[in-house]
Amino acid sequence: MFEEVSPQFTFAEKEKQTLAFWRENDIFQKSMEMYKDAPPFVFLEGPPFANAPPGVHHVLARIMKDAVCRYKTMTGHYVLRKAGWDTHGLPVEYQVEKQLNITNKAELEAYGVQNFIEKCKENVFQFEQDWREMTERIGFWVNLDEAYITLSNDYIESVWWVLRQAWDKELLYQGHKVQPYCYRCGTTLASHEVALGYQEVADPSIFVRFPLKNRENTYLLVWTTTPWTLPSNVAVAVGEDYDYVAVEEHNGQQLILAKECMPSLFGDEPPQIVETYKGTDLRDWEYEPLFDSGEHPEKSHYVVTGDFVTTTEGSGLVHIAPAFGQDDYDIGQKYNLPLVQLVGADGRFVSEVKESWAGEYVKDADPQIIENLDGRGLLFKATEYTHQYPFCWRCDTPLLYYARESWFIRTTAIRDQMHQHNQEINWYPEHIKDGRFGNWLENNIDWGLSRERYWGTPLPVWACDDCGHQHCVGSIAELKSLGTDVPDDIELHRPYVDDVVLNCKKCSGTMHRVQDVIDCWFDSGCAHTAQWHYPFENKELFEQAYPADFISEAIDQTRGWFYSLLATSTLLYDKPAYKNCLCLELILAADGQKMSKSRGNTVDPWTILDEQGADAMRWYMFTGSPPWAQRTFKIDGVDEALKKFMGTLQNVYSFFVMYANLEQIDVLQDTPPVAERTVVDRWILSRLHTLIDGVRDEMENYQLTNAPRAIEAFMRDLSNWMSVAPATVSGVQKAGPDKQADYATLYEVLVTVVKIAAPFVPFGG
């Protein structure tokens, strides 16, 4: 006798019973044990943050991963599913700062770095139980009890080893990076933080005469909206192919500017054009410095060319101060220009400045600088320029784009290898390879690794206080061998590692750690290696698990985890860390915006899991649109999936059970061979095996929407078959082998469909 469907049946309640059965009988672990000697299929989990509760948009990635892993297990593979947790970085720091009402660096350090770090640890797993419950409830089989955790000593030690490999290959170096910087808080901001604080402001817009050398009464006409950067000027940039003119003013002076900019500067009464040039003609022309910027060995104060110069506003000549802008810094590197930094980390002009604005905040100094230029006859025009400018979202201070001393990974040195390895990866959808990801690699710059933060993997570089010699530590054992009084249980976080003093091998002096921590993306990008604490242990496990056969995350990870995995694996092993990458588009809220906690437009997954159930939500997400197509999440779409597929499957089963029990049919006994069954029976079985082949083909190619849609189409054919085939629906009493064959056919179809659909709806409806 078959179990009949209870009138009180709900999918959500049935799923809870199934979960209890899995848990009580350790089904996940038994499935792993069953396939331990099978060919491996390697899955690498992208670690989520657990410092905020999961939303429904987090479900998508987890079920996509689960479907592939379940499918591979069902096709005879051993799929190790090790979970991971991302634990370092800004989200945790900011959460703690808000809790403690800390608004700047000084307040944080007054609270105590050690106290702050301990608070960060407390917050990391604040919602870990929520993530665990959601993961289990949606049927994602992954080993959460043996997860890799980026804050653990084992993980950090492996990251240190990776950095040591970069150091030994001369790919880790110290330089400068222009970053948005809040001088009040004393810290740089990440791009997503900058986006929080834009305000419309009116800044000075001034046109300044730069006097040319060896050309009496001739000036370059240069535009800027940041007068405070002019004392640090070292060059002027023009566009190579633009047309430039020398025009004569009423006082006999000549100004050089872009021809296209004349109407906006002179209106209906343009001055006489004396000479014309191409931008390349102006290259290397020298001019007199506006202010004394100090002595430096590099050549400065001459004209260079840059592709960022425009003529849509301004004068077509751009003032270059490499310490205060990314384009400026890049062109400074190209031409070996000096890095003149006359502004301190407190946002004030340094005391070495000889003018009246020494010690002033930069924005407060603008009027004095403009007055100085005007008094010397160098100010051509001064107005105001209204535009969007970034402010610190925490303290409302205008940000400075400021060159900070930073540490870099020289990824430009391995760019060609990364390009090559990208071609070895199967991307889904395929256009990501040479499109979004390929373009990102094409424009690759060196990785700005260091962060002036507290909660993260400490940069393992020590510098000598006496001779300046630097050394990168690659393991705890090395730290103990070089350091004095290093505790056996040393924790590899600030401030504990900051207290470790090393002996300098060059001069026998003392060495202290560079205080920066590293970009948390580097942490997660080392997951292919650090999850095993390689090379310190698990060598065999690592070799079996590298490279991963499959990874999957949202499309925004092309510049995040997908890139960091490829960069670190190329640096270490000169081969990609993964073979197949499934890119998922973002889920939009009902308002059409990206779902995020900060916008308040997320959907609590439990409202759906408790009502419609996990299988219905999973089926909706799989069949609604391809994973790489942007989608708007609609709860009524889950309802439709519940009725359209789950309901149909349930109805077919109910009819089968009711009539099979009524007829007391034993579908496993005395069943005629397929060749002796009716045409319609043979047709539906043929259709079933075509479905099996089709689903396997789609799944082998990571078409996780085509496969379940094919199952859905088959269910429509099954409904048609039932209308002409057995008595199980019509109630017509049939005798002989046909009746037995009909029941056996329907039983085989139902069991097989549930198996085929299991990767997508593991609770089985």
| Catalytic sites, residue numbers | 47, 86, 521, 557, 561, 594, 597
Task: Answer whether 523's CB lies under 8 Å from 416's CB.
Answer: no
Task: Answer whether 632's CB lies under 8 Å from 161's CB.
Answer: no
> Is the bond leading into 271 cis (omega within 30 degrees of zero)?
no
> Which of 756, 762, 765, 758 lies closest to 645 in space, CA to CA?
765
> Is the bond leading into 211 cis (omega within 30 degrees of zero)?
no
Q: What's the Cα-to-Cα distance from 134 to each of 128, 606, 613, rounded to whole Å?
A: 10, 8, 12
Q: How far apart are CA 291 and CA 436, in angstroms?
A: 44
Q: How far apart are the first and last CA of the chain?
A: 20
18-20-23 Cα angle (round to 5): 110
SS3 at position 237? strand
Q: What's the Cα-to-Cα distance from 420 to each of 416, 433, 434, 529, 566, rounded to whole Å?
A: 6, 11, 11, 21, 11
643: which residues sit within 8 A by CB, 6+ positions away? none
* Per-residue DSSP letter, 13: H
**What sign has the CA pseudo-torsion 529, 533, 534, 537?**
negative
Task: Answer whether 244's CB lies under 8 Å from 258's CB.
Answer: yes
* Per-residue DSSP letter, 324: G
Q: Could you give the count of Cα atoms lying within 13 Å of 398 in the half-sphere of its Cβ? A: 14
β-strand pairing of 143-149 with 82-85: parallel
Task: Answer whether 496's CB lies under 8 Å from 183's CB.
Answer: no
Q: What's the Cα-to-Cα distance from 657 to each of 4, 653, 654, 668, 764, rounded to whole Å?
A: 6, 6, 5, 14, 16
DSSP string, 168-216: HTT-EEEEEEEEEEETTTTEE--HHHHTT-EEEEEEEEEEEEEEBTTST
Instruction: Enumerate the β-bridge partners of residue 149.
Output: 85
Q: What's the Cα-to-Cα distance from 196 to each of 97, 138, 190, rounded to whole Å?
A: 17, 33, 10
Both tokens of 673, joined, read 């061979």
Q: How far apart are CA 763 and CA 13, in angstroms?
A: 11
DSSP string, 219-235: EEEEEES-GGGGGG--E
Kind and range of the H or E run holding 61: helix 56-74
Instruction: Enumerate the β-bridge partners of residue 176.
Output: 405
Both tokens of 14, joined, read 């049935």
Q: How far apart are CA 342 and CA 684, in angstroms?
A: 81
> Which of 668, 667, 645 lies closest to 743 in space, CA to CA?
667
**What sign has the CA pseudo-torsion 95, 97, 103, 106?**
negative
Task: Answer whether 408's CB lies under 8 Å from 516's CB.
Answer: no
Task: Answer whether 378's CB lies under 8 Å from 370's CB.
Answer: no
